[in-house]
Amino acid sequence: MSVPASWYLVLAAVLFGIGVYGFLTKRSVITMLMCVELMLNAVNLTFVTYARTLSDISGQTIVFFVMVVAAAEVTVGLGITVAVFRRRRTTSVDELTEMRG
């Protein structure tokens, strides 16, 4: 018998919370992207835990798709970061304030 599923769920919730805190406090776009990865991994962990608990392979399939979308998201996000850095010489979200109303 493996470790109870609730332990993994609590671990995933803690990981998600750390990701949320980092996303809300960091200034660099790249570090914020890494915090998004933390949150995505927390959700993946939850999916895999439920796939084991409920004996349903669909949970693992969803994780597969989440990984694909995460790869696409990082690719586009870093592309935008590079493009912004070329024009503005910064990746700090505090200095990119042109779009506020």
Residue closer to other proteins, measured from CB, 73 or 101: 73
Q: What are phi and psi of 86, to 5 degrees?
A: -60, -40
Q: How far apart are the first and last CA of the chain?
A: 56
Q: What are phi and psi of 34, to 5 degrees?
A: -65, -35
Smallest gap from residue 95 Cβ to other proteins (A): 8
* 43 touches other proteins (CB under 8 A): no
* 94 touches other proteins (CB under 8 A): yes
* 28 touches other proteins (CB under 8 A): yes
Site for other proteins in 60-89 (CB under 8 A): 60-61, 63-65, 67-76, 78-83, 85-86
Q: How far is CA 98 from the centre of its chain?
A: 26
Q: Which two tokens stand for residue 90?
A: 């910064």
Lookup result for tokens 């660099």: 28
Smallest gap from residue 38 Cβ to other proteins (A): 5
